[in-house]
Amino acid sequence: MGLEEKLPSGFLLTSVEQLAGYMRKASLWPATFGLACCAIEMMTTGGPRYDTARFGMEVFRASPRQADLMIVAGRVSQKMAPVLRQIYDQMANPKWVLAMGVCASSGGMFNNYAVVQGVDHVVPVDIYLPGCPPRPEMLLDAILKLHVEIQAAPLGVNRERAARLAEEAALAALPTTSVRDLPLPTAARPELPGLVR
């Protein structure tokens, strides 16, 4: 049982949340998970020129049980999707996912049956990083933005409440419409078989 569960509701929770958020953001351990060309840019950030060690990310962990950040760098094939999910499930909680590059975010130019059209179909994603491939500076910027999210994340019961509210807000923001609900232009309406007007 963590410290946040032992504290009475509201007792010094703000300062404990700030301290825990600072410690979590300053000690991210990314998993070694490079899939395609974006992985080269990801590996570059660990070198002396960009030096992710100054942000508490000293080394990429070889074991998912030691990692709490998964940087999905590159396209995810249908064969790799179950492996990616297994690695995500083995990671330590709390955990975060960064989709690096347009292929990880939306399938990129690989719009076919063999590539997953967005890693968010397999694991929940916290940060989307565009680019083909994104530069190491862009990855560092995305990591710093993730730091801000981690710093502000609530603990314990508050974390579960915040996650539930965020999920409800996301579901409310995405209206589901069918093709039949979309208005057709009045001029030059084509006769489509099976389309009810």
DSSP 66: G
Model confidence, pTM? 0.71
Domain boundaries, the chain: 29-161
pLDDT at residue 184, rounded to an integer: 54
Confidence of residue 129 (pLDDT cuts 50, 70, 90): confident
Cα gap 67→72, rounded to integer Å: 13
Which CATH fold topology does 29-161 show? Rossmann fold (3.40.50)
Q: What average pLDDT does the structure give for the chain?
A: 76
Q: Which residues contact 136 (CB under 8 A, 6 or more apart)?
A: 41, 42, 44, 45, 49, 50
37 is in an annotated binding site: yes
38 is in an annotated binding site: yes
Whether residue 149 is predicted with pLDDT greater than 80 in this model: the reply is yes
Q: Mean per-residue pLDDT for 147-173?
A: 72
Task: Over range 23-27, report the average pLDDT.
Answer: 77
pLDDT of residue 79 exceeding 80, the answer is yes
CA distance 124 to 190: 40
Distance (Å, whole) CA 188 – CA 51:
59
Neighbours of 68 (CB within 10 A): 19
pLDDT category, 103, cuts 50, 70, 90? confident
Q: Is 134 labeled as ligand-binding? A: no
> Is residue 30 a known part of a binding site?
no
For residues 118-125, average pLDDT = 85
pLDDT of residue 179: 47
- The model's confidence at residue 182, banded by pLDDT at 50, 70 and 90, is low
